[in-house]
Amino acid sequence: MHRWTHYRFRSVWDLQAPPALVFSLLEDPGQYPAWWPQVRRIEPVGQDTGNALIRSVLPYGIHVGLTGLLRDPARGVLEVALRGDIEGWARWTVRPRGGPGSGRTRALYEQEVDVRAPLLRRLAVPARPLFRLNHALMMRAGRRGLAARLTAGPEAV
């Protein structure tokens, strides 16, 4: 692992919906493109595997293979392995916020990856602030998209 190609990301999404509903949407990555604009495409390959195309503000699409590692509704944890242009893992942890029965959720997203794509590796040092900003903007849009999906009512979910 090279420090200059290694990234750790952490985002917290506070949502006005019950944890079970939030978890059900997050555990179905095939639906992410419907509410998360930067997740351009998800193609299932097997029961717990798929390929994704992700593109945020920067004019570069990241191709990544996803493999489910952990799905634990009781603990509210979803984890996947990532391979391709980036390699590592991503995890959602979904918990009630504001006490049991509040109908509110805190979703914690954590990701730890190494950049593998040649262009991204070449730009890893000079463009690091841009890559981090790109990721932050993507996460903000994802939170907004999921919040809108959750408030659209049961027919949208």
pTM: 0.93
We report the CATH number of the domain holding residue 43 as 3.30.530.20
- pLDDT tens by residue, 64-73: 999 999 999 9
Domain-embedded: residue 157: no
Domain-embedded: residue 113: yes
Select from 32, 35, 40 the least CA-distant residue to 56: 40
- pLDDT tens by residue, 81-125: 999 999 999 999 999 998 777 899 999 999 999 999 999 999 999
pLDDT value at 37 more than 60: yes
- pLDDT tens by residue, 97-107: 987 778 999 99
What pLDDT shows up at residue 102? 86
Domain count, the chain: 1
Q: How far apart are CA 30 and CA 57, in angstroms?
A: 22
The chain-wide mean pLDDT, for the chain, equals 94
- Let me know if 4 is exposed, middle or buried by CB neighbors in 10 A (0-12, 13-18, 19+): exposed
Q: How far apart are CA 36 and CA 10, in angstroms?
A: 17
Q: What is the mean pLDDT of residues 3-27?
A: 96
Look up the domain containing 35 and give its range: 3-151
